């Protein structure tokens, strides 16, 4: 088969390295060593191929012109939504001799436990705390939010002990869909550390040793190391989020000052 | 071959609960043998609280929620997870019928998308929000916003076929299991909020109507339906809070 044809047959991943959701799909592909072609999508200036592909994608949000990740499977089917893409990859590339163990374990109880963790992570409001802390320039409000977020860290710390007291959720290096779904946000904690000045990666993590063990184990995975971005890349990439937070804070302060003036 | 006693499902639930119904529907649709153990949600029995405390997935800050199942000595909570677990374990198609997560990878992804969309759409917040808010202006606004979601659902249901279940051939999927219980309980909104949902409202969304009516005819679903009076009475407490 000609090389051009071979390229055509490869799975295409439409993504952007800044995006934690895209990283879920990217990790799934790398961990399972699925051959793929990475198609870079500009999130600020969306290229036509990006928006056109998104429009055709199963799961496309009605109110969006383009989100990553998207995959175009070898049979031409186009699918979006990060967790669904990861599930799809895991389901289709199921030959263990080629692609390794599944991200949803074979054991029914372990499988249920992984599903529980995925749902819990989503329902816990983790992302709201993550982005909220990144963007909150009012120190008092940020500190209060951190108190609440740390409660979730505490719950995560306990839940991670289900199968093992160290390593990934299932123990050791046994990667599951939960690890893939959660990890990208931990890789971006450096942005909160940088902009909001919380020592998350050292002092804070020390308070949650089981989480720390999970995080460190993820960082040692070949696939994770391969696609990891530099701290500076994330810090730069999330600058605009912080700036939005600063603008909101400034507006709040101005409104407060105006209100105080009216009261006099 | 007689199944080991340990293999039988003990199902802890309460017929009023839509989350409990997700697990119940799965059991009935797949004809999985089980024992229904009624749990009092107002006056939680000790056996209920003990089962919940041991259950995989139990919420740290809650004394007891349904559904819970006990299988092979392990307790598992959380409605969607219980449904997935049952589907995965009882996978012999000759005995239990087709899986609620289809074999075809694209259809399977589509079902997962619908399940996730239903959760993220805020459907439940609209449902309970309208039930529990007696302010007519708030209700009117919520209805307008909720109907946008109904429209999306109406469109998305058209992915594979133009009537019946989401998947072709009236094949029940995890999406039907997750969503249907809330549609059964629309009678409480009809009653308390004076909304003609099953008639006028559903006529605006014919694909949804077709979906709902197909499920009312499903043998497994029929086994789990409650009388409207039971549901209306059961949700009185929610309305009274309004």
Closest Cα in chain A, distance from residue B242 (Å) = 25
Contact B87, B101 (CB under 8 A): yes
B109 touches chain A (CB under 8 A): yes
* 208-237 of B, contacting A, C-beta below 8 A: none
> Do the beta carbons of residue B52 and residue B65 sit within 8 Å?
yes
Residue A262's pLDDT is 83
> Positive or negative, the Cα torsion across B228, B229, B235, B240?
positive
Radius of gyration of chain B (CA): 18
Band (pLDDT 50/70/90 cuts) for residue A75 is very high
What is the full per-residue pLDDT of chain B (242 aa) written as tens digits? Answer: 555 666 889 999 999 999 999 999 999 999 999 999 999 999 999 999 999 999 999 999 999 999 999 999 999 999 999 999 999 999 999 999 999 999 999 999 999 999 999 999 999 999 999 999 999 999 999 999 999 999 999 999 999 999 999 999 999 999 999 999 999 999 999 999 999 999 999 999 999 999 999 999 999 999 999 999 999 999 999 999 88
Split at pLDDT 50, 70, 90, the class of A8 is: low
Of A58, A73, A113, the CB nearest to B56: A113
Within 10 angstroms of residue A101's Cβ, the number of other Cβ atoms is: 15
Does A87 contact B at CB distance below 8 Å?
yes
A34 interface with B at CB cutoff 8 Å: no
> C-alpha angle A125/A129/A133, rounded to 5°?
170
Q: Is the pLDDT of residue A29 over 70?
A: yes
Find out whether B160 and B210 touch, Cβ atoms under 8 Å.
Answer: no
Select from A90, A85, A28, A24 the least CA-distant residue to A54: A85
Residue A15, φ and ψ in degrees, nearest 5: -155, 180
User: Are A169 and A161 contacting, i.e. CB atoms less than 8 angstroms apart?
Assistant: no
Describe the crossing of helices B174-184 and B186-193 by its angle, rounded to 10 degrees: 20
Q: How many CB atoms lie within 10 A of CB B73?
A: 8
Contact B183, B212 (CB under 8 A): yes
Q: Is the pLDDT of residue A168 over 60?
A: yes
How many angstroms separate the CA atoms of B113 and A47, rounded? 25
Beta strands across the sheet bearing B9-13: B34-38, B9-13, B68-71, B74-77
CA neighbor of B65 nearest in space, from B83, B77, B81 = B77
Strand pairing class (B34-38; A36-40): unpaired
- How far is residue B229's CA from residue A8's CA, in Å, rounded to a whole number? 59
Contacts of A86 in chain B (CB under 8 A): none
Closest approach of A119 to chain B, Cα-based (Å): 9
| Closest chain B residue by Cα to residue A60 | B113
pLDDT band at A4 (very low <50, low <70, confident <90, very high): low
Question: Is the Cβ of A102 closer than 8 Å to some Cβ of chain B?
Answer: no
Q: Please tell me the distance from the alpha carbon of residue B17 to that of residue A193, in angstroms, as a whole number.
A: 43
Chain A residue numbers with beta carbons less than 8 Å from the beta carbon of B57 are 112-113, 116, 120
Contacts of B153 in chain A (CB under 8 A): none
Q: How far is A139 from chain B (nearest CA, A)?
A: 29
Q: Are A79 and B106 a contacting pair at CB < 8 A?
A: yes
**Whole-number Å distance between alpha carbons of B131 and A201:** 44
CB spacing of A81 vs B60 below 8 angstroms: no
Q: Name residue A11's beta-bridge partners.
A: A36
Q: Which residues of B touch A77 (CB under 8 A)?
A: 106
Rounded distance between C-alpha atoms, residue A202 and residue A213, angstroms: 12
User: Comparing C-alpha atoms, which of A128, B68, B116 is closest to residue A136?
Assistant: A128
pLDDT of residue B6: 63
Q: How far is CA A92 from the centre of its chain?
A: 22
- Would you say B26 and B87 are in contact if contact means Cβ atoms under 8 Å apart? yes
A contacts of B89 (beta carbons < 8 Å): 108
Of A37, A38, A36, A64, the C-alpha closest to A51 is: A64
Q: Is B54 on the interface with A (CB under 8 A)?
A: no
Cβ distance of B74 and A109 shorter than 8 Å: yes
Q: What is the ipTM score, two decimals?
A: 0.96
Minimum Cα–Cα distance from B116: chain A residue: A84
Query: For residue A69, is the peptide bond before it cis, meaning its omega torsion is within 30 degrees of 0?
Result: yes
Angular region, A182: left φ>0, alpha ψ -120 to 50, beta rest:
alpha
Q: Find residues 125-184 of chain A whose CB sits inside 8 Å of chain B.
A: 155, 158, 162
Please report which helix (H) or strand (E) contains residue A36, including its range: strand A36-40
Q: How many CA atoms lie within 13 A of A187 on its CB side?
A: 27
SS3 B186: helix
Which of A77, A112, A120 minimises the CB distance to B106? Answer: A77
Cα–Cα distances (Å) from A187 to A159, A190, B14, B132, B209, in that order, read 20, 7, 42, 41, 45
Contact residues, chain B, for A125 at CB < 8 Å? none
- A199 vs A20: CA distance, rounded Å: 21
Tell me if residue A68 falls in helix, strand or coil.
coil
**Tokens at residue B209, please?**
């109507």
Q: Which helix (H) or strand (E) holds B188?
A: helix B186-193
Q: Is B108 on the interface with A (CB under 8 A)?
A: yes
For residue B229, the distance in angstroms to the closest alpha carbon of chain A comes to: 32
Cβ–Cβ under 8 Å, residues B191 and B242: no
Instruction: Give the closest of B56, B152, B155 to A112, CB-based.
Output: B56
| Residue A196 reports pLDDT greater than 90 | yes
**Chain A interface disruption, residue of B105, B124, B149, B159, most A CBs within 10 A:** B105
Residue of B nearest to A62 (CA): B152
A264 has pLDDT over 70: no
Looking at chain A, the whole-number percentage of residues with pLDDT higher than 90 is 95
**Chain-centre distance for alpha carbon A207:** 22
Over the range A124-160, which residues count as b (16 or more CB within 10 Å of their CB) and which as e? bebeebbbbbbbbbeeeebeebbeebeeebeebbebb
Question: Nearest residue of A to residue B72 by CA position?
Answer: A109
């Amino acid at each position: 088969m000609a090389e051009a044809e071979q390229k055509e047959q490869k799975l295409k991943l439409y993504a952007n390295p800044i995006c934690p959701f895209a990283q879920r799909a990217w990790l799934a592909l790398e961990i399972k060593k699925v051959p793929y072609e990475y198609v870079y999508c500009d999130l600020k200036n969306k290229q036509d191929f990006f928006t056109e592909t998104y429009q055709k994608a199963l799961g496309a949000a009605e109110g969006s012109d383009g989100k990553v990740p998207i995959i175009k499977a070898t049979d031409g089917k186009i699918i979006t939504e990060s967790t669904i893409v990861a599930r799809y990859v895991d389901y289709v590339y199921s030959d263990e001799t080629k692609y390794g163990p599944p991200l949803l374990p074979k054991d029914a109880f372990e499988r249920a436990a992984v599903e529980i963790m995925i749902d819990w992570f989503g329902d816990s409001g983790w992302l709201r705390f993550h982005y909220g802390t990144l963007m909150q320039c009012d120190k008092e409000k940020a500190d209060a939010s951190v108190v609440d977020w740390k409660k979730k860290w505490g719950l995560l710390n306990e839940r991670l002990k289900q199968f093992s007291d160290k390593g990934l959720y299932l123990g050791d290096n046994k990667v599951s869909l939960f690890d893939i779904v959660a990890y990208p946000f931990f890789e971006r904690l450096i942005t909160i550390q940088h902009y909001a000045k919380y020592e998350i990666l050292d002092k804070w993590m020390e308070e949650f040793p089981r989480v720390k063990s999970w995080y460190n184990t993820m960082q040692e995975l070949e696939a994770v190391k391969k696609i990891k971005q530099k701290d500076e890349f994330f810090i730069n990439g999330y600058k605009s989020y912080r700036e939005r937070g600063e603008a909101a804070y400034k507006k709040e302060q101005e409104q407060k000052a105006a209100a105080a003036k009216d009261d006099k | 071959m007689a199944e080991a006693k340990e293999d039988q499902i003990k199902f802890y639930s309460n017929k009023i609960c839509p989350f409990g119904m997700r697990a119940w529907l799965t059991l009935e649709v797949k004809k999985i043998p089980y024992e229904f153990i009624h749990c009092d949600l107002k006056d939680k029995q000790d056996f209920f609280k003990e089962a919940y405390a041991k259950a995989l997935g139990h919420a740290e800050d809650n004394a007891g929620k349904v559904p819970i199942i006990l299988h092979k000595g392990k307790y598992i909570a959380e409605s969607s997870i219980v449904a997935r677990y049952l589907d995965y374990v009882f996978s012999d198609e000759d005995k239990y019928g087709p899986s609620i997560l289809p074999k075809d990878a694209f259809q399977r992804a589509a079902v997962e998308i619908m399940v996730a969309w239903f959760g993220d759409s805020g459907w439940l917040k609209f449902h309970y929000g309208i039930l529990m808010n007696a302010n007519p202006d708030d209700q009117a606004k919520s209805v307008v916003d909720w109907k946008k979601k109904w429209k999306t659902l109406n469109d998305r249901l058209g992915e594979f076929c133009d009537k019946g279940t989401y998947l072709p051939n009236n094949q029940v999927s995890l999406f039907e299991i997750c969503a249907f219980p809330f549609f059964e309980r629309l009678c409480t909104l009809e009653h308390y909020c004076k909304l003609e949902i099953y008639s006028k409202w559903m006529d605006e969304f014919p694909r949804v109507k077709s979906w709902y009516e197909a499920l009312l005819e499903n043998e497994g679903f029929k086994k789990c339906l409650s009388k409207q009076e039971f549901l209306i009475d059961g949700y009185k407490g929610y309305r009274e809070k309004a």
